[in-house]
Structure 1
Amino acid sequence: MPTKTHLLLITLAAATFVSCKATTELVYLNVLKPAPVTIPAYVKSAGVVNRTTINPQNKAIDVVDRIFSLEGAQLDKEGAQSSVGGLADELRKNNRFNEVKALGELDLTTNAPGLFSAPLSWETVDKICREYQVDALFSLELFDTDSKISYAAIPVSLKTPFGNVPGIEHRASMLTSVKTGWRIYDPAGRNILDEFALNRDLTFSGRGINPVAAAGALINRKEAVKTVGIQAGQNYGMRIIPYRTRVTRDYYVKGTDNFRIARRKAQTGNWDGAAVLWKKETTNPDRTVAGRACYNMAIICEINGELDLAIKWSQKAYEEYNNRLALNYIRLLKNRKAGNEVLKQQEVE
């Protein structure tokens, strides 16, 4: 059976794992999945804004939050700037847009420190997109760090000119949670294409002869938070890009001599040769053998990107021969077919 050129780049490897009854083995397929977020084809340029500045009316709430969470005055601000930069860089790399503009803060504010604010008004979104000539707006709507610190006093042996003497070492540890939240605004469609939050925890530790010295070792966390901010922006940028994942399929290796020979062909990568033998068995008078052969024909059709034909073969395996694997496989194939339709929508000319 000839291999077709299709949207999905599929790499295959026959697995050596055998089921408990030794009637099936696994084949691995590396398939392309749709991006979690579909950007309309008419969106050719994007702006990236930072909307994490606290509205002056909510400053008091934010100050209290910072006191209790041990946050530095500039930590959230610099982390948010890094995150916006990370997203803009990632969007430029993936070539989805003709142009990506990092627009900064633009006097945008949030009314809910540590939470998603209400979406920007479409009037505001329209104004920004017209002024900066972009088709969509990626907005960092939330950047919040929350830190918890703990101390412990540990008995240790201290070396002195007079020998080892008992002492106390103070140890401090800090858990910093970094939370980011994003929205994508499509003004032409009046649609918020995505609203998504990302969380990352960082752990810092320090030690010293007293609590102050131990805590002083935690000061360098700002650079780590900025690095996490950059990574959060980069990771969010990947949500608009189709991605590859590995899936497994069972195929039958026992039933007749042709199945055993086909197994060896599959193990060497000769799937088309295996398919020739499986097709011969689709008319076998033994209903179990014929059902397995029809099911395996569906597998080779999926390998070759012929999903419609794969569905027909798997339907035949289940409807005519009551093959035990075929029914679930039909659902998997239909899901993949639906995913392919989304992939077509995500293609950009």
Structure 2
Amino acid sequence: MKLRLFCIIAGVTILLGSCKPFQYLTIDLAMPEKEPLSPAVQSLTLINRAVDRRFTDDPADSVQLRFFTAQFDLDSTIYDITSADTLMQTLGLLLFESGRYDIVIPEERFLMKDSLNLYAGMMDWKEVYTVTREFDTDALFSLDFYKTGVDADFSRESFINPEDGSVAHLYHADMKIGYIAQFRLYYPGNKEDIRSYFLTDTLYWYDSGWNITELFRRFPYVKKGLTEAGIDAALSLAEKIAPVWKPSKRAYFAGGSRVLRRTGSMVHDHDWETARGIWLEAAGKKNSASLRSRYEFNIALSYEMQGNLDEAIRWGLKSYETMFRPVTYRYLEILKARKSLLYPRDEKD
């Protein structure tokens, strides 16, 4: 009898555990930009007015040899074309991938490469008009200043073994690369608002080892560090003016009826229009409160995934009123917080 009761309990436990009322979907959500541009600016041409005759594109080995010749103890300003162009290319990719902008990076993007230009002044509006019309973009984004400095340091510590008097050396290498960059945004639709973006930071690398050859074999090359500086500057600026996509999870009901099981694959395929049509039809039929609230919950999710937060909240409230569930309550809190984040003015009004 005890064995039979145990089997029944175990079977019910397994059955309940395998029939979760809802599942989770991983999605990417856009976090709003910190310093948004005008909604009228949908496309940008990126040009480089910082690169002039001082900039070179020396091979990585040549740059490294210069530092090794100085015993890796050198503090130097380096004007590197690769670093400057990596900044432009990475920025263009980040802005485009954000879904906010269309980007054009002209082949002839180094407008000052044949001159000596210590600091680029304001562009003439006639030149701005010419470039934006040529590439059919709303605004011009110009890198007007870019400078990188490399501070490399090498040191050695000696240790004496008291037992046999042997000496061992521990080698230390560190490298700091600082960058300063300035961009200006020229939007012909608003000449009074020429936005300027000043970026500066320092990247740092350190390593140590008992074998000097192995130490510098794994230590980053100076040229690679300069390239990473350009990438870091691009990331810093993109976070200011473009949405940042972050992973998040959303619950949805995938069981309890044939309709919910059938539409599960549509959820994973993000076919929200088709799935919502099926859920709307099912919700309009005579169902239990439990089942109808599940359809309403999924309908709310479909509206959120398509950017309609007002409808998502409306259907979320319907589901909540039809039948209370903690997951519905939490989802409504998420929707309200997201609306407040994306549309703060609406919340104030």
On whether the aligned pair clears a TM of 0.5, the verdict is: yes
> CA distance change for structure 1 residues 224 and 289 in 2, over 3 Å: closer, same or farther?
same
Residues 307-338 of structure 1 deviation map (CA, whole Å, 9 limit, x = unaligned): 55333312433466553233223236536865
TM-score, length-scaled by structure 1: 0.55
Q: Which runs of 5+ in 2 are unaligned?
A: 1-15, 55-71, 97-101, 129-139, 345-349
Shift of 1:182: 3.2
1:77 is aligned to 78
Matched letter for residue 142 of structure 2: L
1:101 is aligned to 110
Q: Distance in 1 between matches of 2:85 and 2:260?
A: 56
2:329 is aligned to 324
Q: Distance in 1 between matches of 2:155 and 2:320?
A: 61
1:28 is aligned to 26
Matched letter for residue 330 of structure 1: L
2:6 is aligned to none
Q: Distance in 1 between matches of 2:268 and 2:209?
A: 55
Shift of 1:297: 1.0
1:130 is aligned to 124
Greater fraction of residues in strand: 1
Matched letter for residue 250 of structure 2: R
SS of the residue corresponding to residue 174 of structure 1 reads: strand
2:5 is aligned to none
244-253 or 303-312, larger mean C-alpha shift = 303-312
Matched letter for residue 195 of structure 2: I
Residues 78-112 of structure 1 deviation map (CA, whole Å, 9 limit, x = unaligned): 45x5432322444677662464335367223xxxx
Residues 159-207 of structure 1 deviation map (CA, whole Å, 9 limit, x = unaligned): xxxxxx9743312122323233433323634443534444433234465
Residues 256-300 of structure 1 deviation map (CA, whole Å, 9 limit, x = unaligned): 435763575557757645862575347777555443332211112
1:261 is aligned to 261
Q: Does structure 2 retain, via aligned residues, the 8 Å contact 1:252–1:259?
A: no
Shift of 1:26: 0.8
Matches within 5 A, 1:15-54: 22-30=20-28, 38=36, 41=41, 44=45, 46-49=47-50
SS of the residue corresponding to residue 325 of structure 1 reads: helix
Shift of 1:25: 1.1
> CA distance change for structure 1 residues 214 and 288 in 2, over 3 Å: closer, same or farther?
closer
Is 1:203 matched up with 2:203? no
Q: Distance in 1 between matches of 2:247 and 2:182?
A: 29
SS of the residue corresponding to residue 329 of structure 2 reads: coil
Q: Does structure 2 retain, via aligned residues, the 8 Å contact 1:265–1:274?
A: no
Shift of 1:215: 9.7
> CA distance change for structure 1 residues 274 and 293 in 2, over 3 Å: closer, same or farther?
same
> CA distance change for structure 1 residues 298 and 71 in 2, over 3 Å: closer, same or farther?
farther
Q: Distance in 1 between matches of 2:154 and 2:247?
A: 41
SS of the residue corresponding to residue 175 of structure 1 reads: strand
Q: Distance in 2 between matches of 1:205 and 1:132?
A: 55
Shift of 1:27: 1.3
Residues 92-146 of structure 1 deviation map (CA, whole Å, 9 limit, x = unaligned): 77662464335367223xxxxxxxxxxxxxxx743xx129934543244664445
Q: Distance in 2 between matches of 1:290 and 1:219?
A: 61
Matched letter for residue 316 of structure 2: S
Q: Distance in 2 between matches of 1:314 and 1:215?
A: 59
Shift of 1:34: 6.0
SS of the residue corresponding to residue 175 of structure 2 reads: strand
Q: Which runs of 5+ in 1 are unaligned?
A: 1-17, 54-69, 109-123, 157-164, 340-349
Shift of 1:250: 0.9
Q: Does structure 2 retain, via aligned residues, the 8 Å contact 1:310–1:333?
A: no
> CA distance change for structure 1 residues 313 and 153 in 2, over 3 Å: closer, same or farther?
same
1:61 is aligned to none
TM-score, length-scaled by structure 2: 0.55
Matches within 5 A, 1:206-245: 207=210, 221-232=221-232, 235=235, 245=246
Residues 50-101 of structure 1 deviation map (CA, whole Å, 9 limit, x = unaligned): 79x9xxxxxxxxxxxxxxxx86243x3245x543232244467766246433
SS of the residue corresponding to residue 101 of structure 1 reads: coil
1:6 is aligned to none
> CA distance change for structure 1 residues 21 and 125 in 2, over 3 Å: closer, same or farther?
farther
Match of residue 195, structure 2, among 173, 192, 196: 192
Matched letter for residue 206 of structure 2: T
Q: Distance in 1 between matches of 2:218 and 2:247?
A: 41
> CA distance change for structure 1 residues 204 and 258 in 2, over 3 Å: closer, same or farther?
same
> CA distance change for structure 1 residues 332 and 25 in 2, over 3 Å: closer, same or farther?
farther
Q: Does structure 2 retain, via aligned residues, the 8 Å contact 1:169–1:207?
A: yes
Q: Percent identity, please.
A: 12
